[in-house]
C-alpha cells in the first residue's frame, strides 16, 4: 500500500486502516516507493524525495496508532527498485541499510526511463528479447537477497514496454521457472499483487499459470493489494485467496522487522 508522498496515490494511511478495518484485516504493511536521487527512476510523481522519508515514517506511525484501535497490526515497509545496471542501486542499498524497514519489496518498473534506456543501450528491442531480459533481471535480483518479496512479477505485460498481446507466459516458461527457482534458493518470496485485476489486461500479477509453476517450485508468497487509494485496500482478495487455495497453497508470508512470518491461508471473511 502507498501514501500520497509518491505523488500518484491518494488518501492518508489512517484512511487505508479504516478500510482495512471494515474488511476485517488484521495486518497491513505500507510499502511506498523508495526515494531515488537519479531522476531516471522517476521524479515527484513517482516517488517521495529523500527529505520526505521522515514524513513517511510519521504517517505510518499515525496509521499504526489508528491500527491499534482497530485491532490491526501496521507494519512499515518500502517498495524498492530492481536494476541490472551496476552501481545504479548503491545509494538505495545504503538507504535500506540505514533504516529498519519491516518489509522490502523488489520491483522492476520497466516503464521508467532508466530501464528503457538500458534496453536501448543494449540494442534489446524485440518484445521477445525484452521479456527475457526482464525475467533474467528479476532472477538476478531475487538471488541478491536484497528483497523480501518480488513484486508484481509479470508487470512487463502492461504499461507499454511491449505489446501486451505478445506476453504469453508459456513461451517464457524457462526464464520464468529460473526466476521462481532463484526465489526458492534465496528464500525470497513472490508477491501476489491483486491490483492487476483492476487495470491493464485485468489479470492477476502473476498470471495464474505462473502461480501454478510457483506452487510446483515451492515459492513462498506474500499478498498485496498495491492500493494507491483507501478504497483499493483488499481489492479482489476474496477471489484471489480462493484461487490460491485451489492452486494448492496453504500458507502466506509477511515480514516483521525483516523476519519472515508464516500464516495459514484462509478464505477472506
Residue number, 107 or 182, with CB nearest to Zn ion: 107
The residue of the chain with the least Cβ separation from Zn ion equals 107
Q: How far is the CB of 211 from Zn ion (least distance, A)?
A: 18
Q: How many CA atoms lie within 13 A of 63 on its CB side?
A: 31
Q: How many CA atoms lie within 13 A of 17 on its CB side?
A: 23
Q: How far is the CB of 264 from Zn ion (least distance, A)?
A: 27
- Closest residue by Cα to residue 72 from 136, 28, 115, 116: 28
Q: How far is the CB of 2 from Zn ion (least distance, A)?
A: 5
Applying CB under 5 A, the span of 20-28, 56-64, 107-115, 166-174 interacting with Zn ion comes to 107-115
134 contact partners, CB below 8 Å, separation of at least 6: 108, 110, 156
For the chain, helix, strand, coil in percent to 5 are 45, 15, 35
Q: How far is the CB of 267 from Zn ion (least distance, A)?
A: 27
120 contact partners, CB below 8 Å, separation of at least 6: none
Rounded to 5 degrees, φ, ψ at 17 are: -65, -40
Interface residue with Zn ion among 107, 161, 194, 195 (CB under 5 A) is 107
Residue number, 70 or 144, with CB nearest to Zn ion: 144
Applying CB under 5 A, the span of 17-25, 47-55, 61-69, 104-112 interacting with Zn ion comes to 104-112
Residue number, 107 or 232, with CB nearest to Zn ion: 107
> What residue ranges bind Zn ion (CB under 5 A)?
107
Amino acid at each position: 500500500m502507498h501514501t500520497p508522498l509518491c505523488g500518484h496515490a491518494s488518501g492518508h494511511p489512517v484512511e487505508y486502516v479504516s478500510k482495512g478495518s471494515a474488511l476485517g484485516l488484521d495486518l497491513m504493511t505500507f510499502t511506498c516507493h523508495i526515494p531515488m536521487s537519479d531522476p531516471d527512476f522517476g521524479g515527484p510523481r513517482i516517488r517521495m524525495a529523500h527529505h520526505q522519508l521522515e514524513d513517511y515514517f510519521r504517517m505510518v506511525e499515525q496509521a499504526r496508532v489508528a491500527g491499534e484501535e482497530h485491532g490491526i497490526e501496521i507494519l512499515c515497509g518500502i517498495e524498492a527498485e530492481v536494476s541490472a545496471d551496476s552501481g545504479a542501486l548503491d545509494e538505495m542499498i545504503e538507504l535500506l541499510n540505514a533504516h529498519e524497514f519491516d518489509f522490502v519489496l523488489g520491483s522492476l518498473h520497466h516503464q521508467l526511463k532508466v530501464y528503457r534506456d538500458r534496453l536501448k543501450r543494449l540494442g534489446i528491442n524485440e518484445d521477445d528479447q525484452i521479456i527475457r531480459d526482464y525475467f533474467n533481471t528479476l532472477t538476478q535480483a531475487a538471488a541478491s537477497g536484497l528483497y523480501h518479496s518480488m513484486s508484481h512479477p509479470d508487470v512487463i505485460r502492461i504499461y507499454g514496454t511491449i505489446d501486451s498481446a505478445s506476453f504469453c507466459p508459456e513461451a517464457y516458461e524457462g526464464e520464468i521457472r529460473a526466476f521462481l527457482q532463484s526465489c526458492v534458493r534465496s528464500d525470497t518470496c513472490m508477491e501476489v499483487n491483486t491490483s492487476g485485476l483492476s487495470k491493464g489486461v485485468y489479470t492477476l500479477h502473476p498470471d495464474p499459470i505462473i502461480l501454478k509453476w510457483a506452487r510446483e517450485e515451492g515459492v513462498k508468497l506474500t499478498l498485496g493489494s498495491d492500493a494507491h487509494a483507501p478504497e483499493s485496500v483488499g481489492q479482489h482478495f476474496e477471489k484471489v485467496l480462493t484461487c490460491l487455495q485451489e492452486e494448492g497453497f496453504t500458507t502466506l508470508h509477511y515480514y516483521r522487522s525483516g523476519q519472515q512470518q508464516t500464516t495459514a491461508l484462509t478464505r477472506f471473511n
